[in-house]
Amino acid sequence: MGGEFTLVIKMNTSQEEISCTWQDESNCIECSLDEKLICRYNKKQWQYLISTLIPWTLLEAGGLIFIGFVPGKWWPLITYSGVTIAFFFLGIKSYVLCSHCPFYAEEGKILHCPANTGLPKFWKYRPGPMNTFEKIILTTFFFFLFTWGLGWEIYGIYFAAKNFGFSSLAFTLSLSVVTLLTIATLTRFIVVLQKDFCPYCPNFSCPMNRVSKKIIVEYLEKNPKMKEAWEKKGFVIIKPIKTPENGEEKSDE
Ligand code: SF4
Ligand code: SF4
């Protein structure tokens, strides 16, 4: 797309059905956006992301189980399990985040996307952007996910060092290694997400999304009903303007 644009985002809702992401692939022949977006489902991308997620999750769960056995605090593990199950499997995340995503527009009850393939689809696709409340819920959950297990592992090191001292140095060191591995796998997951997924994800209103405004507009132009839903929520696309001075297209993006 040759012109430039200025975009302003406000919020609200809609329920139109669309998404070239799930239309026949022949529609993509003349489109180059697949080089700039993850806009078609590719199982390998999902496998790649999951392979970075699993080590971190297992280490974090291991740390919380330790907190249950040693200091005798099981409620951090119960809280962690309850929140993540409710968020991922009982539809909270899919409502606040995924129901806005073009991957969610696929027909059927099971989601296929680069991050959460296999999860049930509880909701109807909502092509408009996330609202502020949904962004706050999602950001709070991500903060919880990234800090809860790690925080308790650090507490576990403190507890072990204080209560076992040199009599169980190996034990304290082992937990320290688990904590360092948790930090390393969490860092890797965030780096992979931010480097290989968030700059290309078509769920543009997610707080972690890093797709450029110009690409967003290009995708919206291919999906008129999504564009309409975004514009109804206050998303403004300013068309290119020709200036009298140079006769060239100009915008203030
Ligand atoms: S933006 Fe739509 S039409 Fe273009 S390549 Fe992606 S899925 Fe195909
Ligand atoms: S927002 Fe992410 S996890 Fe949700 S459907 Fe889209 S790609 Fe999948």
Question: 222-247 pLDDT, tens per residue?
Answer: 999 999 999 999 888 877 665 555 55
Domain assignment present for residue 125? The answer is yes
Name the residue among 153, 164, 131 with its Cα closest to residue 61.
153
Tokens 């962004």 locate to 135
Domain assignment present for residue 1? The answer is no
Count of domains forming the chain: 1
Domain assignment present for residue 2? The answer is no
Nearest CA to ligand 2 atom 2: 115
Report pLDDT digits (tens) over 110-157: 999 999 999 999 999 999 999 999 999 999 999 999 999 999 999 988
**Contact by Cβ (8 Å): 201, 211:** yes
101 lines ligand 2 (CB under 6 A): yes
- Separation of alpha carbons 234 and 42, rounded Å: 32
Looking at residue 237, its pLDDT comes to 81
DSSP 8-state code for residue 41: -
Looking at residue 15, its pLDDT comes to 38
Domain assignment present for residue 233? The answer is yes
Boundaries of domain holding 188: 7-22+38-250
Mean pLDDT of 18-30: 87
- Which H helix or E strand runs over 198? none
- Which 3 state secondary structure label does DSSP give 241? strand
116 lines ligand 2 (CB under 6 A): yes
Domain assignment present for residue 30? The answer is no
pLDDT higher than 90, residue 8: no
Nearest CA to ligand 1 atom 2: 20
Name the residue among 168, 176, 172, 170 with its Cα closest to residue 150.
176
222 lines ligand 1 (CB under 6 A): yes
Express as a percent the part of the chain with pLDDT over 70: 85
pLDDT higher than 80, residue 169: no
Q: How far is the CA of 238 from the centre of ligand 1 (A)?
A: 22
